[in-house]
Structure formats: structure tokens, C-alpha cells
Homo-oligomer: A and B are copies of this chain.
Amino acid sequence: DAPLTVIAGPCQLESLDHALMIAESMAAACAEAGVGYVFKASYDKANRTSLKGRRGLGLEAGLDIMSEVRERIGCPTLTDIHNEEQCEQAAKQVDIIQIPAFLCRQTDLLLAAGETGAVVNIKKGQFLAPWDMPNVISKVESTGNERILLTERGASFGYNTLVADMRSLPTMMKTGYPVVMDATHSVQQPGGQGGSSGGQREFAPVMARAAVSLGIAAVFIETHEAPDTAPSDGPNMIPLDRMAALVASLKAFDDLAKADPLRV
């Protein structure tokens, strides 16, 4: 019943200055609104729709920026990892390591992530039912690590479309672990633009608000000062200059939801 945390940042790291600019802006907006803040960014987009999509700065340069953001802004940080080898290094330089949705059943990756002792944010696969997550969770728990977050990011709904099932949130909350709504990727249109994924940015605040009203722990929102020219996920990122208002709005729904918890 702690107040909402906002996990936000650009889809992919572009430079130290860019990361600091976004983190500083978001940290200020979150402090102002009274919500927690975690800086999120990726050092590698390892599963782009097309080979031509930009992948990012890479592990070493990316993690160095993540460390720098944490130190300078003073906020916790999150990044996604893509194989077992990356887990240990990432866990040294960020607070939360994230299992990508496509990889959420890869046992060795879950074990390696768990063994770092870092917080592990598991994104539920687009192909997975919410009640299948305990099997996924127990892979991480088997390492002795119970610092786990669970993220809804939409389920496959026909071709090139995802749907976010609100029932998924209370279902995953029953595990006792904090539940996160990924408002950005749940409105993605996978492969919807041929060589890249489309998205419906206008619906990200819809997903965020609906989910926050259910009393979730955190909301995950990608943001960029100029989404339409961002190297990835532009169609579903929220412009940075709208984030302060969005966060403040979500906080009001969070207050109400935390004061009046749903019993499922």
C-alpha cells in the first residue's frame, strides 16, 4: 500500500546527457507529485522487429550511463537483460534487472537473474496467462531471491495487436509480489508498421489510469522529448513535457485506490 512508483525513461539509451535530462525531469515531476521514481532505459534492443532498427549503445557504455544516472540523480534504475552473462554486470550497475516478455520462460535467464540478488522485474509474455506466472516466479525464487516485480505488458490478440486484460493485475497481485503496468508496450502494435512496431501513444494514459485505479504498485511508461524521432518505440512513447501532468493525475487515482483496496 505504499504510494505509486513511476518507472520511466527513454526506450533506449542515446547518450549520458540525454539520459540525465530525462531522469532529472522525471525525478522532479515524481517528487512534485509524491510518487516514487525509477529511471528506466535499455542498453540493447535485442529483439527489434527488423535488423535495420537501431539497437543501442551496448552493455558496457549503457551500464556506465545507468550508474551515472543513479549517482547523479539519486534514483533507482532499471534495465533489461538478454542473456545469462549480462545479469551479473547489470546487477552491479542498476537496481532492477528486467526479464523481457519474450524471454520470461527461459529458465537459465531467470536463474541467473535471481542469483544476482538484484530486484528482478519479470514481464509477463504476450503468450502467457496471468495464472501461469507462479511457475515463472518459482524459477527466480529457487535462487533464494524473492525481490520480484511482475509486469503486465499486454497479451496477443489476433495478429499485430495486444490487449491488456485488467483481470491480470489483481490475479498477479495475489502472488504477493508488486505488480507493474507497462502502459507503453501494452499499446504497442507488434510488427504493425512492416519494418517496425506501431503503437497507440494516445492510449498509454488510458492503460496507466485504469491500472493505477486497481491499486497496483507501479506504472511503467516510456517517454522521450521527441517521440517521433526516437530510435525505437516512438509510436507509443509519451512526450516528456506531458509526463508531469500525467504523473500528478495518476497519483490522485493511486491515493484513492490505496485508500479503498479491491478485494478479489
Contact = CB atoms under 8 A, between A and B. Distances in A.
A175 interface: no
A49 B249 CA distance: 39
Contact of A107 (B47, B108, B127): B47
A79 to B, nearest CB: 17
Contact of A102 (B102, B157, B169, B206): B102
Given A47-B106, A106-B47, A107-B47, A135 B191 contact: yes
Interface string A132-170: 100100110010000000000001111111011111011
Nearest to A159: B129
A231 interface: no
B203 A213 contact: no
Nearest to A84: B83
Given A51-B107, A187-B167, A262-B209, A129 B253 contact: no
Interface of A: 46-51, 55, 82-84, 102-103, 105-108, 125-129, 131-132, 135, 138-139, 142, 155-161, 163-167, 169-170, 187, 190-191, 194-195, 200, 202-203, 205-207, 209-214, 249, 252-253, 256, 260, 262, 264
Nearest to A142: B51
29 contacts: A46-B106, A46-B107, A49-B135, A50-B138, A51-B107, A51-B138, A82-B106, A102-B102, A102-B125, A102-B127, A126-B126, A126-B127, A126-B156, A127-B127, A132-B190, A132-B191, A135-B191, A155-B159, A157-B165, A158-B158, A164-B166, A166-B206, A202-B264, A206-B264, A209-B213, A210-B214, A213-B253, A252-B260, A253-B256
A30 to B, nearest CB: 18
State how many copies of this chain the complex holds: 4
